[in-house]
A and B are shown apart, each in its own frame.
Chain A
């Protein structure tokens, strides 16, 4: 199957220049869309009676080994009724801030998927209501693990990672809101507070 999905022709007819190019790979149709008009295109793809892409299968990003190539954010769309798939992509220039519109308002399933792309690739989804880190902790400072400039073993040495883990404030994993319920913290003996401040295992200063 090397024919492109009929959605491509419909998209071109509707949005013209915002559809940059398309290609077919292994039977999957991929459409490159101008980043600025992404939300408009996605809304049309979901709501147009001829398209009805009601199911967001996946959101992810791709960075190529070739550093000249832009970073791509990919949305796998699916129409359960029409049994059709479409992959929409946006290219982001790595020299610019990596920002793209969130599709959270269209598909609630995008919530955690966009948060994952945010923490793993550093792409910001504007309009996402709760773009917190996921999978990595709140104070994670090594960078974006799935980027190609991120070494397999991490930016920090094993010794540095151990030092940070042991000297981390154990309570720092809780948000301020969560901390406010731990009122008993003030009543803990001083030595226990000291141990907690260095992590339970302690020992390394």
Chain B
């Protein structure tokens, strides 16, 4: 029997003479359905998705080989956004590289800025001030929440849930306003300097952030109520795109991609920077390594970021008025009014702008826990003011390399879900 009649109840039900509620037919007499019996003649079909496709989260191109609706092979093609940042960095002073980092992972520019400053400070052997450390922690955790909110919203859309996207982007907007008040930019923040920060936080920032920390968990609770026990969400995410712990390590995955597979590894704990070891927070660990666990891990990470932000705000109160820059005129530009009136300050200003800050001969690698994974900057210096080599260890690039493995044998619609769960940003993959 191929004919079926779907009926829905009217929203204001009326009764027929026999007392039964009336219904309206939604769809009657569908044409007979023939199952495609070997339509392809056993041939595999190739499908091209992207580079211009909303579900690939940027200019990612996937060539997918299908057997019916089952994925046989996925070949990602990348490079459409390649900008040669690493090459550009070799022609710039260390501080001039900071604007380039904004444009790699453009969903968490402040965290990138912090990583760059930390890597150069490691290379030069600089110890930053305590207030600077706390402010950088604030920057990192704000970035983490922003990035995870974008991930949560867009992944919801990919799987057909539109409402949480609006909630997430509303909250993200509140953080962007704070970020804009601090750095003057919503995207290209460039907020760190080697040895300090571009600027201290403005008046009202702390109050705004406290207000955010107080009200934001309510949004997370709403998303939690919407997704975590939602039958459609569970069906689309549980047991899809699974990778086990040893494989995740072997594929060099990091951050939620790794932790969802049950590997307890967080750079903030493994090799603490910015005094993260003195903050009280938990690192959520998944169990099954599927999309659902990645979602749970990221959701919990936002709660933990709020915890860290609250502790950082308490420390900022204690450190009010403390310096944000190291006290070294060779590193930090003098205030403009001094550069215009004081001979010595003007000389330091001139030397920094024209010659840059020289780093000693050597090399340093520093990795930080970015929202997308472990971001690492590797500098090699030959003693001049410009690096010989600036290498970005791009977390999304390395996580995306695992996509063909995750997509083996899944359905075509799952490829979209799995790709979303990797949390990629093409600016960083292509650099």
Residues of A within 8 A of B (CB): 25-28, 30, 54-58, 60, 62-66, 74, 76, 80, 83, 85, 87, 107-113, 116, 120, 134-137, 145-146, 150, 152, 177-178, 181
Interface residue tally on B, bucketed by range? 35 or more
Identify the closest chain A residue to B404 (Cβ). Answer: A111
Binary interface encoding of chain B residues 342-384 relative to chain A, with 1 for a CB under 8 A from any of its CBs, else 0:
0000000000000000000011110100000010101010100
Are the CB atoms of A30 and B401 closer together than 8 Å?
A: no
- Are B88 and A58 in touch, CB under 8 angstroms? no
**With a CB–CB cut-off of 8 A, which chain B residues contact A116?**
397
Would A26 and B252 count as touching, CB distance under 8 A?
Answer: no
Contacts of B122 in A (CB 8 A): 26-27
Name B's A-contacting residues (CB within 8 A).
45-46, 48, 63, 78-79, 82, 84, 86-88, 91, 122-123, 125, 247, 249-253, 263, 265, 270-271, 362-365, 367, 374, 376, 378, 380, 382, 388-389, 391, 393, 397-398, 400-402, 405, 430-431
CB neighbours (8 Å) of B400 from chain A are 112
Say yes or no: B265 contacts A80, CB within 8 Å: yes
Is there contact, CB below 8 Å, between B363 and A80? no
Q: Which residue of B lies closest to A110 (CB)?
A: B252
Q: Which 3 A-B pairs have the closest CB atoms?
A: A109-B252, A26-B364, A112-B401
On whether the beta carbons of B252 and A55 are closer than 8 Å, the reply is: yes
Closest to B61 in A: A173
- When chains A and B are docked, how far (Å) is the Cα of A87 from the Cα of B378? 11
Q: Is the CB of A109 within 8 A of B45?
A: no
B402 to chain A, nearest CB (A): 8
Asked if B63 contacts A64 (CB within 8 A), the reply is no
- Least CB distance from A58 to B in Å reads 4
Tell me the complex Cα distance, A54–B405, Å.
19
Q: Which of B88, B263, B374 contacts A57 (CB 8 A)?
A: B374
Given contacts A26-B362, A30-B363, contact A65 B382 (CB under 8 A): yes
- Cβ 8 A contact of A134, one of B79, B86, B362: B79
Partner pick for A25 among B45, B82, B87, B363, CB 8 A cutoff: B363
Name the one of B263, B367, B376, B397 contacting A80, with C-beta atoms under 8 angstroms: B263
Q: Would B249 and A152 count as touching, CB distance under 8 A?
A: no
Please name all residues of chain B whose beta carbon is closer than 8 Å to the beta carbon of A110 when the two chains form the complex: 252
A27 to B119, CA, bound (A): 12
- Assess the B249–A58 pair: CB atoms within 8 A: no
Is B398 touching A152 in the complex (CB atoms < 8 A)? no
Q: Which residues of B contact A120 (CB under 8 A)?
A: 86
Kindly state the separation between the CA atoms of A136 and B87 in the bound complex, as whole angstroms: 14
- The reply to whether B46 and A76 form a contact with Cβ atoms under 8 Å apart is no
The distance in angstroms between the C-alpha atoms of A110 and B46, with both chains bound, is: 27
CA distance A148 to B63 in the complex (A): 34
| Central interface residue in B91, B122, B388, B400, by most chain A CB within 10 Å | B388
